[in-house]
Amino acid sequence: MGKPTGFLEFTRELPSKRSVEERVNDYKEFVNRYSDEKLNQQSARCMNCGVPFCHNGCPLGNVIPEFNDAVYNKEWKDAYDILTSTNNFPEFTGRICPAPCESACVLGINQPAIAIEEIEKHIIEIAFEKNFVQPKKINKRTGKKVAVVGSGPAGLAAAAQLNYAGHSVTVFERDDQPGGLLRYGIPDFKLEKWVIDRRVKLMEEEGVTFKCNANVGVNVNVNDLLREYHAIVLAGGSTVPRDLNVPGRELKGVYFAMQFLKQQNKRNANIDPLANAAVESNILAEEVLATGKNVVVIGGGDTGSDCVGTSNRHKAKSVTQFELMPMPPTSRTQFMPWPTYPMTLKTSSSHEEGADRKWAIATKEFIGDENGNLKAIKVVDLEWKSAEDGRPASFVERAGSERIMPCELALLAMGFVNPQYAGLLEQLGVELDERKNVKATEKEYKTNINKVFTAGDMRRGQSLVVWAISEGRECARKVDEFLSGGLSVLETKDQTAAALMF
C-alpha cells in the first residue's frame, strides 16, 4: 500500500482536457497527462484491499493494487512489468476501455473510485518513454504455424501470446492496415492511430507477420489455410450491424454508423474513403458528411457517442441522439449494488461537445424528398413499465406524441448482431450458436472444425475491448495446449495474479 492515508487525503481527479472549442476543430486526442504530483496522488488513493474486487471486475485479471503501489513509489519498470503480465495492450485499454474495474473498486462504495484506467495509460506511456518496451526475444521456435484471421484486439492478443509460446504466427486482415475496429471504428480523437502502428511494429519485430488486404474466404482461399497451418484462430469480430426496418430505410441519408466512422478514419489517414467501393460490399460508393445537416444518431451506446463527436467535428447544423430505453439513474439503485457493473447515466466527452439526447423515443419512419434524399424522421415517445428487478420490461407508445423532426442524416448505431457468415465462416462450415455467433466453449475456444479456434466478439458477441484481449489470451493458451499436446507454457490470468500477489 503506497500511502495508508491516501484515500483520506486525496479525492479522485481526472486529467484536464483541451477545451471543447479547440478540440472539435481536429481529430487529435484531447485528454492531457497528469502532472507527476497528481499521478502520485491518484495512485496513493489505492487501499491495497485484502480482497481487491477491482481484480475480479477486470476481465483480464489485472493486478491493480500492485501496480498502483509501484506507481506511487515511482518504480516504473515494476509497474510496467506487473501491468503487462496480464494485459498485452494497456495503451488501448487505457484510452477506450469503460473500466469495469473501477465499478468494482472497494473505495467506490462511499467515495469516487480509483482512476485505474488513467493510471494504466500513464504506466505504458512512461514505459515507452523510458524504453522499457522492447521486442521480446523468442528463444525457441516450435516449428508450428498458426493463422489468426482478424487483427482487432482479440486477434492481436492471440497472435502476441502464440508468438511468445514459440509458434510462427501470421495475421490476416481484410482491411488495408491492421487494427480491426481499433483502426476503422474508434475515432482518432479517442485513439490516435500511431498508437496502433507502434504496437504492430513491435509485434513485427518480435516475429509476427501481418498480411493486409487479405480477406479470407474472398481473395484468400480457406482451404489453403487449412493445409498450410497447424491451427487457425478466428477473430473477425461481430460486424453485422443491427438494422432498423421502418418505411424509408432505403433513402439516401440513412447509413450504418460504421459506414460513417470508417470513412472519417480513412480521411484522417489520407486514404481515399471510397477506395475499393466497387469490389467490397461493405464500402459505400458515396462520401457521407454531416456538414451543415441535422443529424440524428439512433442508438445511445459508445458507437452512437462516436458518431456524435464526429458529427460535431464535421460542423453539423444540429446533433440529436435517440435512445429507445428510458433515461437511466445517475447513481446506483437497490437493483445494481456494488460491486456489479452499474447501468447508470454516462456522459461521454462527445456529449460534452454538444448533443440533444432524447430518451424513450422510437423511430417510426424516414421521410424523403422527391429525389429520394432523407429530409425528416417521424418519431414517437414511449412509456416504459419496469419489471420487479427495476429493469425496463415493456413499453407502449405515448398517445399524441407522434411528430416529425427535420433530419438530413440518420446514423444507425444500435449495436452488432453477429459475425459475417458469408465467405470465411460459410466456407469453413463452422457451427453457430443460437445468437449466430461462432459456437465454441469458453473452456476450450474450439469450433466443430478440427484445429480451428475462435475468440473475441466472433465467439461471445459484441463486447468490450478488454474482453476481446482476455479472449485472445485465453484462446491462445488453448491453441498452445492443442499444438503441444499437453500443458501450455502460457499462464492463466489467475496463475499470473497469484505469482504477483504472493
pLDDT digits (tens, 9 = 90+) for 207-253: 999 999 999 999 999 999 999 999 999 999 999 999 999 999 999 99
Q: Which fold has domain 5-130?
A: Fumarate Reductase Iron-sulfur Protein; Chain B, domain 2 (1.10.1060)
Higher-scoring residue by pLDDT: 234, 390: 234
Has domain 145-239+417-500 been given CATH number 2.60.120.10?
no
- Rounded Cα distance, 92 and 87, in Å: 10
Quick one: average pLDDT of 106-115? 95
- Which of 44-48, 115-119, 376-380, 442-446 bottoms out in mean pLDDT, i.e. has the lowest? 442-446
pTM of the model: 0.95
Higher-scoring residue by pLDDT: 314, 386: 314
Q: Any idea where the domains of the chain sit in the sequence?
A: 5-130, 145-239+417-500, 243-414
Please report the beta strands in 42-173, taking only residues with DSSP state E, as ranges in sequence order.
145-149, 168-172
**Contact between 252 and 372 (Cβ < 8 Å):** yes
- Categorize the per-residue pLDDT at 310 as very low, low, confident or very high, splitting at 50, 70 and 90: very high
- Categorize the per-residue pLDDT at 493 as very low, low, confident or very high, splitting at 50, 70 and 90: confident
CATH of 243-414, one of 3.30.930.10, 3.40.190.10, 3.30.300.130, 3.50.50.60: 3.50.50.60
Closest CA to 490 of 80, 86, 171, 154: 86
Q: How many CB atoms lie within 10 A of CB 79?
A: 27
- Rounded Cα distance, 469 and 467, in Å: 5
Is the pLDDT assigned to residue 154 strictly greater than 80? yes
Is the pLDDT assigned to residue 495 strictly greater than 80? no
Let me know if the fold of 145-239+417-500 is the same as that of 243-414. Answer: yes
% pLDDT > 70, the chain: 98
Nearest 5 degrees, angle CA 173-CA 175-CA 180? 70
Q: How far is CA 447 from CA 64, 232, 350, 377, 440, in A?
A: 33, 10, 39, 43, 5
**Contact between 415 and 301 (Cβ < 8 Å):** yes
pLDDT digits (tens, 9 = 90+) for 167-187: 999 999 999 999 999 999 999
Mean pLDDT (the chain, rounded): 95
pLDDT digits (tens, 9 = 90+) for 198-209: 999 999 999 999
- Categorize the per-residue pLDDT at 282 as very low, low, confident or very high, splitting at 50, 70 and 90: low
The pLDDT, as a whole number, for residue 127 is 98
- Categorize the per-residue pLDDT at 331 as very low, low, confident or very high, splitting at 50, 70 and 90: very high
Quick one: average pLDDT of 459-477? 97
The pLDDT, as a whole number, for residue 307 is 98
- Categorize the per-residue pLDDT at 281 as very low, low, confident or very high, splitting at 50, 70 and 90: low
Is the pLDDT assigned to residue 486 strictly greater than 90? no
